[in-house]
Amino acid sequence: MSTLAIVGAGSWGTALAIVLSPRYSVVHLWTHETDLADRMVLSRENDIFLPGFSLPANVQPTCEMGTALLDADVVLGVMPSRFARTLYRRIADYVRPETQFVTATKGIESGSLLRISEVMHQELPPGAQIAVLSGPTFAKEIAGGQPAAVVIASQNADLCTRIQTAFSGPTFRLYRNQDPVGVEIGAALKNIVAIGAGICHGLGLGHNTLAALITRGLAEITRLAVAMGGNPHTLAGLAGLGDLVLTCTGDLSRNRHVGAELAKGRSLADILSSMTMIAEGVETTSSAVALARKHQVEMPITEQMGALLRGERSPREAIRELMERSLKEETPNIL
């Protein structure tokens, strides 16, 4: 047994602290909010991001980065993508050469268009061991002990095996994958399609529309992932199709909620201001549009979601634009 440091105490970070607590002697759970850390220490509950679930006795909340990373064998980053670079720059001051890093952040860095593992390689010490964790998961279900399967991805096969062994438990199963590009692109871009799924729901559209959106959404995510060096088979697995289906159909999906509220006529600013947690798809959309243009990949759903979020299309106009595109053949594979 060893020490795990989780950086980011949102709903997902807290759920991971709960499910991984039996696998470690100590789990440090870092939050930047001093008052939240104090309350979690006293009440043993994250009352803002994951109320109703008790923190195990070996989970130690803190707002001190040095304390969180003390003797950590594994550092698990679960911060929003907008804070990743700043936090990994701080983390670099405390870690040891043998420390293993896992990112569970689902997003693309705005401006640089880098995947989060690429940001980590820039900010952490040279030679840092980095893996990516992703898959179809809702925090409340993980915290509640419901069975789930996810992917751990790294080009370092030995690291994948070590994290797989360390993290897997009775209700949390990990599969190894050596394609971090495909896993990270799938994780980030499924949130964009989920906004579209919420729009379909908010407009009262049925299962036919949703099935078409998910299928064509997967196709364009796969096109971009392959153009960036990913493996198309990755997108047919848990980190691609699995996560996409969950996020597009589940009522717990924040990004789907954003789309549904937009379809009701609420402004994006009003929706986001009323949410406790971040909907990563809103920020990821502009980055995905830029990546599609950079790699010359056709991504019509992403383009329409970008126009919608910029206020250039109404929800109904976005759906109409997708349906009125020029007719073409569907190729026999997902591409």
Catalytic residues: 190
Which of 265, 263, 267 minimizes the C-alpha distance to 202?
Answer: 263
Do 178 and 153 contact (CB within 8 A), yes or no?
yes
Beta carbons within 10 angstroms of residue 206's beta carbon: 9
Which of 150, 119, 149 minimizes the C-alpha distance to 134?
Answer: 150
- Ramachandran quadrant class, 265 (left: phi over 0; alpha: psi -120 to 50; beta: rest): left
Do 181 and 228 contact (CB within 8 A), yes or no?
yes
CA distances in angstroms from 224 to 199, 265, 299, 334, listed in the order given: 23, 31, 8, 12
Beta carbons within 10 angstroms of residue 283's beta carbon: 20
Side-chain half-sphere CA neighbours of 110 within 13 A: 11
Strand 3-7 versus strand 50-54 pairing type: unpaired
Which of 81, 119, 109, 94 minimizes the C-alpha distance to 278?
Answer: 81
- Tokens 């595109």 correspond to 325
